[in-house]
């Protein structure tokens, strides 16, 4: 089966500019996640969607970050305006289910978008 697709792979922008990332999850996966991975750290959850609804966005800096998942399939993550500390790899992942007592499905990650803010 096709994996999780992300684009672009790399992006370099100046601080205060805007940037958008795109993710296409595995077909049939209801749950989609955006993670931020800063160099030397593990991934940190930014936002979780169940179909096209937001389940958890408690760690999303909402003053500058926004995300949407129209029609419960593709998703975009936007940063506006970007700061230097936003430099990181942005990973999209999908899973059949969010968990909740059902079998503990693993996440399938995309290759990520490496963002550099200068």
* Residues at the site binding other proteins, with contacts judged by CB under 8 A: 4, 40-45, 48, 56, 91, 93, 98-100, 104, 106-112, 114
Least distance to other proteins, CB of residue 37, Å: 9
Structure tokens belonging to residue 68:
């949407």
Q: How far is CA 107 from the centre of its chain?
A: 12
Least distance to other proteins, CB of residue 76, Å: 18
Closer residue to other proteins (CB): 48 or 69: 48
Closer residue to other proteins (CB): 8 or 99: 99
Pairing verdict, β 19-24 and 5-7: antiparallel
Taking the C-alpha atoms of residue 108 and residue 92, their distance in angstroms, rounded to an integer, is: 8
With beta carbons less than 8 A apart as the criterion, state whether 81 and 16 touch: yes
Least distance to other proteins, CB of residue 77, Å: 15
């Amino acid at each position: 089966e096709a994996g999780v697709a992300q684009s672009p792979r790399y992006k370099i922008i100046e601080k205060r500019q805007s940037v958008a990332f795109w993710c296409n999850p595995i077909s049939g996966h209801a749950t989609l996640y955006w993670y931020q991975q800063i160099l030397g750290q593990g991934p940190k959850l930014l936002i979780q969607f169940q179909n096209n609804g937001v389940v958890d966005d408690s760690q999303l800096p909402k003053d500058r970050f926004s995300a949407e998942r129209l029609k419960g399939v593709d998703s975009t993550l936007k940063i506006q305006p970007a700061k230097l500390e936003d430099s990181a790899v942005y990973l999209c992942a999908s899973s059949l289910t969010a968990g909740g007592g059902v079998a503990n499905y693993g996440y399938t990650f995309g290759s990520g978008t490496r963002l550099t803010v200068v």
